[in-house]
Structure 1
Amino acid sequence: MNDEQKKHLDDLSPAPEGNLPAVHDPDVFWDSLAVAVPDDAQLKAAKVVSATRAHPAHAAFDMLRTRMLQALSDNGWSRVAVAAPTRGCGSSFVTLNLAYAAARLSNTRTVVMDMDLRKPHLADMLNIEAPEDMAAYLSGEIAPEDFLIATRPNLAFGLSTSPADNSAEMFQATMTGDVLDELSDLLSPDLVLFDMPPALEFDDVLAFLPNVDAVLIVAGGGVSSAEDITKVEQILSEVKPILGVMLNNADGPVSY
């Protein structure tokens, strides 16, 4: 950690009680974020059925949202990694739909972070231009108010556009933990969803798990084998609790 990065975190660390600057008021901080609102056509193209509720599939995400938030509340948790065994299972699709389902609860603040630094694409799905790369943010080079984008008053995104081939090493750096703790302190989110790269293809998910409270596994109908899902559960459950396994695209050929 260089002197500039230390200064950034020191400047945003809590002041003595009774002398807190306005930026540490979560309401003020949320109001200060840049705003970008995808239109209904873009959300439909990204298959974010939870946003408009025009498709009956939104009910499944409402159920998952409520059960997940209850489990988090019971345990005092807020950070969830959304991970799939391999690509093609739909972890980003699930992440976005869970986020928009949660955002319909006016008293729930949700933050979504695109942690698939190998192939970031949430920005493309939402057609939002990321102001900086996630790698720069996790390195402490960018203040959260200059990086996060609000799509709704209680829903914010940390996006990225450029791939990084050193993501596993970055996730294990002390600065990443410090930056995420700072985010939690400033925004006081009820739910933080981390869209992760495939768990069986890279060690990124394992490297990042110390920064979360629990894991939601997304299996793909016709994509994930029973062996893949069992292996992911065994590997990840040794580090963090598994909230559950969601079977996506269950209408197709299902192997689990």
Structure 2
Amino acid sequence: MSKIEEALEKATRERQGGGHEAGGVPQRSSVREAHTAVVAEVAVVNPDPLHLAENRVVVASGPSLGASDAYRQLRATLMLAADHQRLAFVVTSPLQGDGKSITTLNLGYAIAQELQLDAVVVDTDLRRPVLAKFLGIEGQRGVSDYLNDPSVTLDDVVVRLAGGPLWVSAGTVRLHNTSELLGSRRMEQFCGELRHRFPTAILLFDSPPILPAPDAMTLVQWLDGGIIVVSAGKTSRRALSDAVRQFGANRIAGVVVNRSDRSSYGYGYGYRYYYGGYGYGGEGAPTAETGEKDG
């Protein structure tokens, strides 16, 4: 059994047992300096809090709900990864419906609320873009527009969300030749410019699930690794194993186990996060669970 499969099985046992371990949130080893590159003035949008709550973007709602705390614990682990210059991640899943898009948005909000670290969330699920809908900001241009029109600039497709250092690129145009576009030099240029403009930010790219499409594997070549979202009680071990094999275990920074039982949290989104031992942690590295040990 792989470490990721062991992590999923462990989360399932804990979901059934309901146990929690106490722990403190790890402190960052250093406070990041301000941007060294100038971020141009971009449009600022203010999503409706009620709309966010209805779409399960729970971290933005303010109160420390159980699910919000889980995302903040996940954020703490990614902050440690950022200290090692791993800043840009594909967020994907084995199959559709595992919660990857909601995870991406909530994690982005959790990172931004730290205030020491900016976050940029990019909708690169060009086949089924949903982030704009979840945020209630339809009508914005996104990565599809950037890839299809050489005259479109980064400033045209990125907006800042009011209330924190969180930027998003969330268009609504659906495309079909997505793998070719995500593997193009234009996409490489987009990722490079995003890194240059946001040199200290965590970059999260919501991408299509692994098994139905090659997009996530294509996109990760421009980034630092992948975060795999699985749904406890829904994602089969076979689907997870196939996804890990196709994506490449050495590219996986961690796995988020979406605890889908609705009795745990009001929004039905409890999470465990396992990090290390899959790729960046190295062979035989311990599997740390920030939801328990770090927060």
**TM-score of the aligned structures, taking structure 1 as reference length:** 0.82
| Correspondence 1:75-154 to 2 at 5 A | 76-139=85-148, 140-152=150-162, 153-154=164-165
Q: Which residue of 1 aligns with 2:175?
A: 164
2:123·2:142 contact (CA, 8 Å) conserved in 1? Answer: no
Identity of aligned residues (%): 29
* 1:39-85 deviations in Å (ceiling 9; x for gaps): 210110111111124322111111111012202322x1110110011
Q: Which residue of 2 aligns with 1:12?
A: none
CA RMSD of aligned residues (A): 1.8
1:115·1:197 contact (CA, 8 Å) conserved in 2? Answer: yes
| Correspondence 1:10-21 to 2 at 5 A | none
3-state SS in 2 of match to 1:104: helix
Q: Which residue of 2 aligns with 1:192?
A: 203
Unaligned runs of 5+ in 1: 1-23
Aligned residues: 225
Q: Which residue of 1 aligns with 2:69?
A: 59
1:221·1:247 contact (CA, 8 Å) conserved in 2? Answer: yes
1:80·1:215 contact (CA, 8 Å) conserved in 2? Answer: yes
| Offset at residue 235 of structure 1 (A) | 2.0
| Offset at residue 143 of structure 1 (A) | 1.1
User: What amino acid maps onto 2:106 in structure 1?
Assistant: N
Deviates more, 1:80-89 or 1:50-59: 50-59
Relative to structure 1, the CA distance from residue 65 to residue 25 in structure 2 (aligned partners, 3 Å threshold; closer, same or farther) is: closer
Unaligned runs of 5+ in 2: 1-34, 263-295
| Offset at residue 27 of structure 1 (A) | 5.1
2:210·2:246 contact (CA, 8 Å) conserved in 1? Answer: no
1:68·1:243 contact (CA, 8 Å) conserved in 2? Answer: no
| Offset at residue 221 of structure 1 (A) | 2.3
2: CA distance, partners of 1:160 / 1:121: 8
**TM-score of the aligned structures, taking structure 2 as reference length:** 0.72
User: What amino acid maps onto 1:228 in structure 2?
Assistant: A
* 1:139-191 deviations in Å (ceiling 9; x for gaps): 44311112211003411111111210011000111111012201221232420
2: CA distance, partners of 1:99 / 1:38: 14
1: CA distance, partners of 2:131 / 2:39: 26
2: CA distance, partners of 1:164 / 1:66: 34
